[in-house]
Amino acid sequence: MKILVTGGCGFIGSAVIRHAIGATGHEILNIDKMTYAASEAALDAANGHGRHRLVKADICDAAAMRDCLQSFQPDAVMHLAAESHVDRSIDGPAAFIETNIVGTFTLLEAAKDYFSTLDPDRKQRFRFHHISTDEVFGALEDNDPPFCETTAYDPRSPYSASKAASDHLARAWFHTYGLPVIVSNTTNNYGPWQFPEKLIPLVLLNAIEEKPLPVYGDGKNTRDWLYVEDHAQALLKVVETGTPGETYCIGAKQPRRNIDVVKTICALVDARLPSTSGARERLITFVKDRPGHDHRYEIDPKNAERALDWTAAHDFERGLAATIDWYLNHEGWWRQIRSGKYQGQRLGAAS
């Protein structure tokens, strides 16, 4: 299968490409704007591979998107390009509106025009896979059932509102124009190559360097965690076997309170790098909560597990241990980021 991937140098997109090149034999055209969190190094063996090509372009550039589709002639589009950090969206929402809404609209229009040129057999096979987040569903209280495919939308942040808008656009292009769109929503991802502004890499790198570990509020906000390699496998299953018009909620049923995630990271880092100053839990620092902080996210993935014949292979503790070991073995990469080499540096409190 020939797949056009947007955002393929990002955290999740690069994992998808690594799997697509290494295990499935797909041919990939990778479109990435190469913003602050993108990394060509994350592509690993896909760099220089005959079945992978990187085009540095903005999804808001309509002419570039049309040219890429017409020249590559993909069988599917996997749309992962997005601004995704809630703290950044609070500080500067305009970039989220531009990339997540205008960019998705631009890509949908280009895909619609391309789709119209395909013969009936290729139209039957074509897929537009729009990748989204569980944050579009709003927030849960402790006793609420997890999100699922029929949960009503209730976004609470500029980030989640922009992703909700893009989800609605994707579904509208399916119903109005017949573009064979599939939407997937997922929980918090973690794993190798994640830019260190998100909870897990931020805390583990601060723990390695014995710096304060900032935690918003009382630390009782709960997130459902999915190892990025498991998510990548699920996303490829969606584009290979998913049904147009359907939604797949992808998760691993691994909810944890933020404070418990931080304490687990402390224990795992302590076991690998004992400190003469004592256990790293001493570094936990509670800071003022961020505006509109959602209390809990959790997904019920049973529909996706059944439809895709997929389940997450990693439990949280094993995935977290593997993640910490990866960062310990890739110190050169993250130290460049921590030194301020990357643009737009804003490493906030754990979310």
Using CA atoms, how far apart are residues 334 and 208, in angstroms rounded to an integer? 12
Report d(CA 115, CA 341) in Å as an integer: 41
At 8 the three-state DSSP class reads coil
Rounded Cα distance, 76 and 6, in Å: 11
In a domain, 336, yes or no: no
Q: Which residue has the tokens 């906000």?
A: 221
The predicted model scores a pTM of 0.94
Q: Is 240 a catalytic residue?
A: no
Residues 319 and 265 sit within 8 Å (Cβ to Cβ):
no
For residue 118, the enclosing domain spans: 2-188+228-253+294-314
| CA gap 251, 232 in Å, rounded | 12
Residue 278 lies in a domain: no
Exposure of 247 by Cβ count < 10 A (0-12 exposed, 13-18 middle, 19+ buried)? buried
Residue 159 among the catalytic residues: yes
Torsion of CA 34, 39, 41, 46, to 10 degrees: -60
> What are the Cα distances from residue 244, in Å, to 150, 184, 280, 289, 311?
16, 11, 48, 40, 21
Terminal CA-to-CA distance of the chain, rounded, Å? 37
| Cβ partners under 8 Å of residue 116, min gap 6 | none
DSSP 3-state assignment of 241?
helix
* Per-residue pLDDT tens digits of the chain, which is 351 residues long: 999 999 999 999 999 999 999 877 899 999 999 999 999 999 988 998 999 999 999 999 999 999 999 999 999 999 999 998 898 999 999 999 999 999 999 999 999 999 999 999 999 999 999 999 999 999 999 999 999 999 999 999 999 999 999 999 999 999 999 999 999 999 999 999 999 989 999 999 999 999 999 999 999 999 999 999 999 999 999 999 999 999 999 999 999 999 999 999 999 999 999 999 999 999 999 999 989 899 999 999 999 999 999 999 999 999 999 999 999 999 999 999 988 755 433 334 545
CA-wise closest residue to 320 among 185, 229, 250 = 229
CA angle 210, 214, 219 (to 5 degrees): 125
CATH number at residue 139: 3.40.50.720
Tokens matching residue 64:
């570039």
Q: How far apart are CA 7 and CA 80, in angstroms?
A: 5
The rounded distance, in Å, linking the Cα atoms of 65 and 115 is 13
**Is residue 213 in a domain?**
no
Q: Indicate the burial class of 272 (C-beta count within 10 angstroms; 0-12, 13-18, 19 or more).
A: exposed
DSSP 231: H
Say if 223 falls within a structural domain: no
288 part of a folded domain? no
Two structure tokens written together for 91:
């500080």
How many other C-beta atoms are found inside a 10 Å radius of the C-beta of residue 173?
A: 23
Number of domains comprising the chain: 1
Q: How many CA atoms lie within 13 A of 291 on its CB side?
A: 9
Q: What is the pLDDT of residue 351?
A: 55
Catalytic residue among 27, 58, 87, 134: 134
In angstroms, the CA 117 to CA 8 distance is 25
Distance (Å, rounded) from C-alpha 323 to C-alpha 207? 14
Residue bearing tokens 């704007």: 33
What's the CA gap between 288 and 201, in Å, rounded?
Answer: 20
Identify the active-site residue in 135, 197, 298, 305: 135
Is residue 14 in some structural domain?
yes
Residue 49 lies in a domain: yes
Backbone angles phi, psi at 318, to 5 degrees: -70, -40
Per annotation, catalytic residue among 114, 159, 190, 216: 159
* Within-domain flag for 267: no
For residue 184, CA distances in Å to 181, 230, 298 come to 10, 14, 14
